[in-house]
Amino acid sequence: MKKTSVIFLVMTALLCSAYGQDDLLDMLDNMEEVRTEFTTATFKTTRVVNGHSVELPAPGVLQFIISHRFGRLNGGFYELFGLDQANIRFGFEYGVTPWLALGWGRSNIKKTYDGFFKLKLLRQKSGKENFPFTLDFFGGIAIDGLKFADPNRENLFSSRIAYTGQLLIARKFSERLSLQLSPSMVHRNLVPTIEAENDVFAIGVGGRFKLNGSLSINAEYFYILPGHTSDNFQDSFSIGVDLETGGHVFQLMLSNSRAMTENMFIAETTGKWGAGDIHFGFAINRVFTIKRR
């Protein structure tokens, strides 16, 4: 009997000491619930290099992008390595909701107007709930703004239009490394020859490697699936750096593509890296917070 009472007392004493647990931080840790954490900043901007990344401007944020692509480096000193010919696109992108962005742009190549929407369908997350990647759908339209070559022919407005659909699948593997897969389809309403394909399928792979908080190296490759287009055009390959200052991101890149809209850089790239048909380009991204939180 005495033994049991001693045991009881010891147990009670233990219980008391547990109550007076000393390390309160440990207590807080123990009480903490596991939360779901969504992966952010898979890429620094809405582009990998030429192509779209899974990033959307934050809701209420307007992003202004002014992009340049110069002529070919193999133009030599006479062309100042391409700097004598500048192609430009300026565009706006707006985050409507956390999962929807709308964009609009104008490029001097074929006087193209482009518009697009980007939908974030799935988000990479970890913690309580896990999901391995982020999935976006990109839908774009590009309208050739040049005057019709033969105004006397019956010309349809629809023949100016090309569409692009892309699935953007990206995973942030670590703080430094993110990779993206972008199965893409370009549909041209009108193509110049009978043999040319209206539909071009390509698979894009891209990624970024962060060197430090403000600097990352990005690369991107679009492989055109076999067909007339892949026989007559080149796969687009681009490599660049993203340099971030306060509210700006500067992108510098080298690419065998001159154009800045999907339908052209995916399906109409003619430059060959091996031959030195490399275009230097840069873009300046600026964000404006329209709606404050």
- What is the contact surface with another protein in residues (CB under 8 A)? 1, 4-5, 8-9, 12-13, 15-16, 19-20, 22-25, 27-29, 31-32, 37, 40-41, 58-61, 175, 213-214, 244-247, 287, 289, 292-293
Q: Are 17 and 208 in contact (CB under 8 A)?
A: no
Q: CB of residue 213 vs another protein: minimum separation in angstroms?
A: 4
Q: What span, in angstroms and rounded, lies between the C-alpha atoms of 123 and 41?
A: 12
Q: What span, in angstroms and rounded, lies between the C-alpha atoms of 241 and 49?
A: 8
Q: What span, in angstroms and rounded, lies between the C-alpha atoms of 264 and 107?
A: 11
Q: Which is nearer to another protein, 24 or 194 (CB)?
A: 24
Q: CB of residue 282 vs another protein: minimum separation in angstroms?
A: 18
If you search the block for the tokens 């687009």, which residue do you land on? 236
Q: Are 89 and 67 in contact (CB under 8 A)?
A: yes
Q: Which is nearer to another protein, 9 or 86 (CB)?
A: 9
CA nearest neighbour of 254 among 205, 220, 224: 220
Query: Which residue type is seen at 205?
Result: V
If you search the block for the tokens 């799935």, which residue do you land on? 122
Q: CB of residue 175 vs another protein: minimum separation in angstroms?
A: 5
Measure Cα distances from 130 to 30, 35, 41, 274 in Å.
Answer: 21, 10, 17, 43
Q: CB of residue 290 vs another protein: minimum separation in angstroms?
A: 11
Q: Which is nearer to another protein, 31 or 149 (CB)?
A: 31
Q: Which is nearer to another protein, 79 or 244 (CB)?
A: 244
CA nearest neighbour of 54 among 180, 240, 196, 202: 180
CA nearest neighbour of 43 among 203, 241, 204, 252: 241
Q: CB of residue 219 vs another protein: minimum separation in angstroms?
A: 20
Q: Which is nearer to another protein, 19 or 78 (CB)?
A: 19
Q: Which is nearer to another protein, 9 or 121 (CB)?
A: 9
Query: Which residue type is seen at 258?
Result: R
Q: Which is nearer to another protein, 111 or 248 (CB)?
A: 248
Q: CB of residue 140 vs another protein: minimum separation in angstroms?
A: 24
Q: CB of residue 25 vs another protein: minimum separation in angstroms?
A: 5
Q: What span, in angstroms and rounded, lies between the C-alpha atoms of 49 and 88?
A: 15
Token code pair at residue 233: 């055009």
